[in-house]
Structure 1
Amino acid sequence: MELRDFNDHQSSHEPGVEVLTKQEEDEVFEIQKETYRGQQYSQIYFARLHLMRTLLLEVIYEFKFAAVCTVLELEEGKECVIVGTLYKHMKLKPCILDEYSKERSAMPLVKPHNFMHPDDHLVLEDESGRVKLSGLLLPSVYITGIVVAIQGKETGAGDFLVQDVLEAGLPPQIELPLKSKEDKYVVLVSGLSIGSSNSNPLQFQLLIDHITGHLGDEKEQNIASQIVHVVIAGNSVEFPRGLLNGQNLAAKDLSRLSEPIKELDILLNQITAGLPLDIMPGPSDPANFSLPQQPLHRCLFPGSSTYNTFRSCTNPHCFELDNIRFLGTSGQNVDDLEKYSEAKDKLEFMERTLKWRHLAPTAPNTLGCYPYTDKDPFFLESCPHVYFVGNQDKYETRVIKGSEGQLVRLICVPKFNETGVAVMLNLRNLESHALSFGTQFST
């Protein structure tokens, strides 16, 4: 039998009822009792390796693959299976010492969009040691931080010749509830960038008027009446460049700094008056830099937060509506994957994170994250029905299917400020379509 991917048996779940129910599952991403005591990031990798190895060994023993051994126990020519964490040697990967020296050079810096190089190669590492890989695994697909099981043999040159690879595969998924007869829509939007130089408040106001039923003909207003939830996936504001440079701000600069937040609160107030709204932080928002980003403080939204429909959430954000499981990020995990690996589109990167059972596999190597000591919160224990990523260049979507019948709707939510596009998802059948708003006037 070939090594490919595997899935645990699906857990049973009672069908959803017609009334809309909402369940929060962001607790795993909330940093509450965690304390930083100078711990190293290696502990996250140990936790990740332990979780994934348990899953992978179950199927290896069940199907009686070749003997499992550690890197230190490898023998030349002997076929075996080893489980470990991948590390990718990258010639062009930025180094902090190089950055320091380049800052003092007279030559201008040109930052490449992608750090891939033909000489890149993969290494597998476990607690006993590391070994260079050759053969089946493509360095262009894999990145540092993934845990896999590989089957092969050590060569005379000291490399491990990979003959097959076992990835974790899509996690188990709760059954979809029975299809409702009613349409219920969730609106996904990201990248409002209020306060930026090209900000267009009219565009966002048109979106608000549409989803609150104040815009459009009778048919559009009927669809608007079926909207049950709004999610804003990061980068809601953008502060003027040059203000946040570590210096003490003058009173007029402090006022300029608060203007985008005040404007956002006024706009969100119109939504929360009639609809539940979740807002997630993004890279440009006033939140912590490292993942998981903590909820934007309610004091930033004195108007919107007075409604019980307003909820400030973490990034990543996980929740359930009518027993349909949503999982989303503000885009950092996929954008970072694009720098260190290659795929035909952003949806393929999203699919890989599900198959690797890890939401942010490049954290903490190239993506900032909190130094957890005893867990890895980005490990995916269950499969969402809807997986969305915000702040992308364009709207893309497709459905992927797992080997155990899991169905996942993948959605790239575009930057609204640049595209004027939001996404509507129908809870009845998980179909989605773009909502486009233009404010250009012909002369």
Structure 2
Amino acid sequence: ISKSISNLINSSNKTTTNPTTENLNQFYKIYTNRLQYFRPKIKEEATKKFPSKSTFYNKILDIQPTNLSQSIKKNQEINSIDPETFCWAIGTIYTEMKYKPDILNQVSQDLYGLPERPNNYVYREGNDDSEDSNKEIMFEDESGRIILQFDHTNIEKEILVTGVVVGILGYVDINNDLQVIDYCFPPKLQPPTVENVKQENSKILLISGLDLSQDTNIEKLTTLQSYLSGAINHNYNNESNNLVILGDSLLSYNNLAMFNEFLSTVIRAKTITLIPSLNDPSDRLFPQRPINLKLFDRLLQLNSNDVLSLQTNPTYWNSFKVFLEAGDTINDIVKYGDYNNDSDRLEIMKNFIKWQNFAPTAPDTLSIQPFDINEIDDPFVLKKEYPRAIIFGNQPSFLTASYENVELIGVPKFATTNQLLELDLNSFKYKLIQL
């Protein structure tokens, strides 16, 4: 995975600067490549899961209503519907939302910079918005698209976002929309291998969301520095010499001096791994290059080889089989609806495993490097096996779950929680530290 991320960043350097043609083609290829990759896998799984009497369509455009399907009532029990009425296809979810920024349209118009990212793509504070009126979920492939409806309330409504490749079983209603009956995702991958994973120096301290700005509470920041340096007593003295800073370190580039001072103090006691987020001084496109070393003081530059490691976002530690991401992928998906509570965020984490895709919403709402690589080299698509853990930064609170033998961990924003996390990458035992 780490090699694929590097290859993607390198390939983005070679992409054309003509946004009206080639970049849009490169964005389009991201979705078509993923559909082509997942289609045979989902078809094999759906053939086993969906009713044998249902009709499979190779192309979404070929899905047609029947007199029987258009006579089905919204409140009709699914068990009472003839399975021969059902059809299924494989495609990609596309979500149209009222407040979604049109990144691709901006690129096509050769506009510089990125559109302002709203807090939510469906709701706006102060407006009496409803999800039904502001959001439309569609199902598409190379041939066309059809609107999805979810009128059968006894069917579990998945969190479906743009870019997710899925098999859908349903029927075409009187409005020529596809009423969803069931879903099918790719077959499970192999569990993460654990041979030879045990490593020394496996304990790390994780912190994210320092959000340094002119309004930063200096006393709180000083307490954190003192704790990391071992200069103050605490009810829990951390045992790790390795600090991982997982994104959102700065609210403004004007606060680099404050960040430099923080790093220069902590680096005397800890080795530091620095991973950027979309709010930090790195690319505003995903995946992000490491923060440029030249932004830091000379003392940090001179010691960088020994105690300061600048890494990409996301990054993958092959020795531990751990994937780290600053939280941008989750924080984009929660904007697709009312998904901002802890249970929904945990469900999104699990869905990354279920979808086998870490960044489905890129490039539609998550800005991404325009790359021209095939689906095999796509670093966001899981291939043969799951990682042992996925760690996300910048969550409103500490989150943890286990799904398909993958440890899912959300690191809380320090600026709002005063919390950091000690984690053993061998056992995944953790201690949440409250300062």
Q: One fold, TM greater than 0.5?
A: yes
Structure 1 or 2: more helix by fraction: 2
Q: Distance in 2 between matches of 1:283 and 1:179?
A: 31
- Could you say what secondary structure the match of 1:49 adopts? helix
Rounded Cα–Cα distance in structure 2 between residues aligned with 1:401 and 1:98: 37
Normalised TM-score (structure 2) = 0.75
Offset, 1:85: 0.5
Partners of 2:207 and 2:259 lie apart in 1 by: 14
Please name the residue that 2:2 is paired with: 26
**Residues paired across the two proteins, number:** 373
3-state SS in 1 of match to 2:23: coil
Residue 232 (1) aligns with residue 245 (2): yes
Which secondary structure state, in structure 1, belongs to the residue aligned with residue 61 of structure 2?
helix
Aligned residue in 2 for 1:296: 291
**Residue correspondence of structure 1 range 395-410 to structure 2 within 5 A:** 395-402=397-404, 406-410=405-409
* Contact kept? 1:179, 1:429, Cα under 8 Å: no
How many angstroms apart in 1 are the aligned matches of 2:391 and 2:288?
A: 16
Tell me what 2:56 maps to: 68
1:342 pairs with one of 333, 338, 357: 338
Among 183, 193, 202, the alignment partner of 1:175 is 193
Indicate the residue corresponding to 1:369 in structure 2: 368
With 353-362 and 371-380 compared, the bigger mean Cα shift is at: 371-380
- Other-structure match for 1:327: 323
Task: Kindly state the Cα deviation for residue 67 of structure 1 after the two structures are TM-superposed.
Answer: 5.0
Aligned to 1:286: 281
Structure 1 residue 168: deviation in Å?
2.9
Q: Report the Cα offset of residue 319 of structure 1.
A: 1.2
Looking at structure 1, the residues matched to 210 and 312 of structure 2 have their Cα atoms a distance apart, in angstroms, of 18
Structure 1 residues 162 and 385: alpha-carbon distance in aligned structure 2, compared to 1, 3 A threshold: same
- Alignment-derived partner of residue 160 in structure 1: 178
Is the 2:390–2:406 contact (alpha carbons within 8 Å) kept by the matching residues of 1?
no
The equivalent residue for 2:39 is 53
Q: Is the 8 A contact 1:169 1:356 kept in 2?
A: no
Range moving further from structure 2, 58-67 or 155-164: 58-67
Q: Which residue does the alignment assign to 2:92?
A: 85
Please, what is the CA RMSD of the aligned residues? 3.3
8 Å Cα contact 1:421/1:434 also seen in 2: yes
Quick one: structure 1 residues 201 and 91, their matched pair in 2 at CA, closer, same or farther if it must change by over 3 Å?
A: closer
Secondary structure of the corresponding residue to residue 288 of structure 1? coil
What do residues 159-188 of structure 1 show as CA deviations (whole Å, max 9, x unaligned)? 223221112366433234689799952111
Q: Which runs of 5+ in 2 are unaligned?
A: 17-21, 67-84, 107-117, 124-130
> Which residue number corresponds to residue 379 of structure 1?
381
The answer to whether the 8 Å contact 1:36/1:371 transfers is yes
Q: Note the C-alpha offset of 1:189.
A: 0.6
2:227 maps to which of 210, 220, 223: 210
What residue is the counterpart of 1:185 in the other structure? Answer: 203
Aligned to 1:254: none
Write the distance in 2 (CA, Å) between the matches of 1:429 and 1:75.
52
CA distance in 1, matches of 2:311, 2:395: 20
Contact kept, 8 Å, 1:142 with 1:341, in 2: the verdict is: no
C-alpha displacement at 1:227, in angstroms?
Answer: 0.9
Q: Tell me if 1:318 matches 2:316.
A: yes
Q: For residues 417 and 139 of structure 1, what CA distance do their matches in structure 2 show?
A: 34
* Displacement of 1:273: 4.4
Using the aligned pairs only, state the percent identity. Answer: 25
